[in-house]
């Protein structure tokens, strides 16, 4: 866990990164929130980034993410200021599942391209096959099929990703099965999502997450205050796109309105 502490903070942002990546890819976003007077709490999820070297891309249970996110929120509580949580992609899914399972003191929720469905899911045959392999060889690692090239249009971010030793392309069969189960559960238990102000930021040309699944989930959320904002030409990583300043300004306005 890493923490950036502002002078006289207005609030605290807990940031949850996506699959294959790590907290270091959020340096620009952290700096923006910090400059606006917010503390930032962020870390690497289990099996990703600096949390492991041997089994990167593997978890035994999706609940491992929920446990860690709850720990980050407890750290945020210590500042005694409004708490906001921002989850990207799989991190967005993990935030959804955490809030469905835990009652936590959150002021507002921001999700960027939350992983509630995949643009290119495995075929029915492969999906069934992974269920069998998950029983006998759960740690078998496969190429996720996701690369930084289809995550953002920014050449600079793409180049950095290609050189990044912590950017992981391989995941275990168990990891995939846990992800698939969490996506199903997030939609099945949408009514358990708390009545919190919610902002969903979605890339309209997302090549990783199925934006239709995101919209369907959003439409069934019963929050009294919710906003879905789609950027037509943006790829998956809306905070890494050339238009990232515009996206951040919109996210900041959502947070400011709640303070």
pLDDT tens digits, 150-185? 999 999 999 999 999 999 889 999 999 999 999 999
Sign, Cα dihedral of 84, 56, 65, 182: positive
44 in active site: no
Stretch 55-69: mean pLDDT, rounded?
Answer: 95
- Joined together, the tokens standing for residue 130 give 């992974």
Q: What is the DSSP string of 117-154?
A: SBSSPPPHHHHHHHHHHHHH-TT-EEE----GGGT-S-
Q: Which of 23, 154, 172, 206 is catalytic?
A: 206
206 in active site: yes
* pLDDT for the residue 55: 83
Phi, psi of 49 (to 5 degrees): 55, -130
| Residue written as token pair 């609030």 | 11
pLDDT bin (cut points 50, 70, 90) of residue 126 is confident
Among residues of the chain, what percentage have pLDDT more than 90?
A: 92
Q: Which of 44, 89, 112, 113 is catalytic?
A: 89
223 in active site: no
Give the Cα separation of 1 and 140 in Å (integer).
Answer: 28
Give the Cα separation of 96 and 237 in Å (integer).
Answer: 18
Whether residue 245 has pLDDT greater than 90: yes
pLDDT bin (cut points 50, 70, 90) of residue 51 is confident
Whether residue 200 has pLDDT greater than 90: yes
Whether residue 52 has pLDDT greater than 90: no
Cα-based angle 176, 210, 72 (whole degrees, multiple of 5): 60
* pLDDT for the residue 53: 64
* pLDDT for the residue 4: 98
Stretch 140-155: mean pLDDT, rounded?
Answer: 92
Give the Cα separation of 130 and 176 in Å (integer).
Answer: 8
* pLDDT for the residue 54: 67
């Amino acid at each position: 866990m890493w923490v950036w502490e502002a002078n006289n903070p207005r609030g605290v942002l807990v940031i949850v990164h996506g699959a294959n990546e790590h907290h270091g890819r959020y340096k620009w976003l952290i700096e923006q929130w910090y400059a606006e007077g917010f503390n930032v709490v962020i870390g690497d999820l289990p099996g990703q980034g600096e949390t492991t070297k041997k089994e990167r891309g593997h978890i035994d249970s999706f609940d491992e993410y929920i446990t860690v996110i709850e720990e980050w929120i407890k750290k945020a509580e210590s500042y005694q200021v409004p708490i906001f949580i921002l989850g990207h992609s799989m991190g967005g899914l993990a935030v959804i599942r955490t809030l469905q399972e835990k009652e936590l003191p959150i002021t507002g929720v921001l999700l960027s391209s939350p992983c509630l469905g995949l643009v290119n899911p495995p075929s029915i045959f492969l999906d069934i096959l992974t269920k069998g392999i998950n029983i006998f060889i759960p740690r078998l690692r496969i190429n996720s099929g996701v690369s930084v090239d289809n995550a953002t249009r920014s050449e600079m971010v793409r180049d950095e990703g290609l050189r990044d030793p912590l950017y992981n392309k391989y995941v275990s069969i168990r990891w995939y099965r846990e992800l698939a189960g969490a996506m199903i559960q997030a939609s099945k238990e949408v009514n358990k999502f708390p009545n919190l102000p919610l902002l969903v930021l979605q890339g309209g040309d997302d090549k990783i997450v199925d934006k239709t699944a995101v919209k369907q989930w959003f439409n069934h959320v019963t929050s009294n205050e919710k906003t879905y904002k789609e950027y037509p030409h943006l790829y998956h990583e809306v905070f890494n796109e050339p238009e990232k300043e515009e996206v951040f300004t919109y996210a900041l306005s959502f947070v400011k309105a709640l303070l």
